[in-house]
Amino acid sequence: MSKRLEGKIALVTGGTSGIGLAAAHDMAREGAKVYITGRRAAELDKAVQLLGHGAVGVQGDVTVEADLDALMKTIGEAEGRLDVLFANAGGGGLAPLGDITPAHFDDTFQRNVRAVVFTVQKALPLMRVGGSIILTGSIAGSTGTQGFSIYSASKAAVRALARSWVLDLKERGIRVNVVSPGATRTVGLAELGGESKEAQDGLLGYLASLVPMGRLGDPSEIARVVTFLASDDSSFMNGAEVMADGGQAQI
């Protein structure tokens, strides 16, 4: 039985941990040759070793245009094309209204919006008919979250980008979809609770209590949604937002 991404070339930004690493692993398992990015060399090397399957790590920061140019040049020279782009890199912190600073705003939008725009734009010359672009959204983009308004706004912007890009790319036959995770058990989520394990566990427990399924998501569960959107199994899905959140956004 053939694998769903056999022979595909895939790029996962922010692929050294969490959802990005899990998605890279799942796509490689389904036959794709996967390129991942990360800012820190040691973490990137470790992730490549964990992935196996001929995965390639390219060190760089998606907020730096020169790094994006170098990344696409590397893939272009080695492969000549790109079939799947998972623009996953991003993040953000808590800041309630009254404590929001220009630096917090700029950092969040630079990572979650500006970097996504230019990652996708710079990847387009490598992409062919039938290509799939997946953006990482969040249920925070369509639900209220105390102290998280700037992050939420940045993820709402990601959703809006996808809606327009499907029109920009319709003549090229390239699909754009969004995967929007709910609370998922990652290091990044835990660290929002603070430095102590007690505080982190408290946050994760509280977030789990908000999910109808009564638990947090696992990165591997989000990864399987990404692989689905990358594959021909989702060939008639375009401009969609897939909530992978245990039902939280539905209540």
pLDDT value of residue 230: 98
Collect the ranges in the chain with pLDDT lower than 70.
none
Nearest of 82, 155, 152 to residue 120 by alpha carbon: 82
pLDDT value of residue 145: 87
pLDDT value of residue 192: 84
C-beta of residue 184 within 8 angstroms of C-beta of residue 222: yes
Q: Are strands 9-12 and 33-38 parallel, antiparallel or unpaired?
A: parallel
pLDDT value of residue 251: 87
Residues marked as catalytic = 151
pLDDT value of residue 2: 81
pLDDT value of residue 40: 96
pLDDT value of residue 210: 92
